[in-house]
Amino acid sequence: MSTVAVTDATFESDVLKASKPVLVDFWAEWCGPCKQIAPALEQLSEELADVVTIAKVNIEDSPTTPSRYGGIPTMMLFRDGQMTSMKVGAMPKQKILEWLNEAGVQAA
């Protein structure tokens, strides 16, 4: 499973009402650090498909949702409709994986 594109219109159903944890990446085409972490998020979306959904919100196309949660590059973990953990800035795949593990999202 690859990353899921989420918009203002689908945020509630795709993230807040999701049955499993969702890592949301708020990004923009012009954001260099956002582009740096994109390949790692794609890989993790394949590797961890059974335990977490990796979603991407383009702040240019969907400005309402990011304005409620903060700037970019920001990754947030949502569970049961609540943001439970947040990381700001680019980080390598291993650090993202460590963050997810610390937040209780473990590979099966």
Listed residue (57, 53, 67) closest to 28, CA to CA:
57
Per DSSP, the chain holds a count of helices (H) and strands (E) of 4, 5
Q: Which domains, ranges and CATH numbers included, belong to the chain?
A: 4-98 (3.40.30.10)
- pLDDT one-digit tens code per residue, 28-67: 999 998 999 999 999 999 999 999 999 999 999 998 888 8
- What kind and span of H or E run contains 45? helix 32-47
Of 15, 23, 31, 77, the catalytic one is 31
Tell me whether residue 34 is one of the annotated catalytic residues: yes
Q: Which of 3-7, 40-44, 69-73 has the lowest mean pLDDT?
A: 69-73
Of 6, 18, 23, 34, the catalytic one is 34
Query: Does residue 108 have a pLDDT over 60?
Result: no
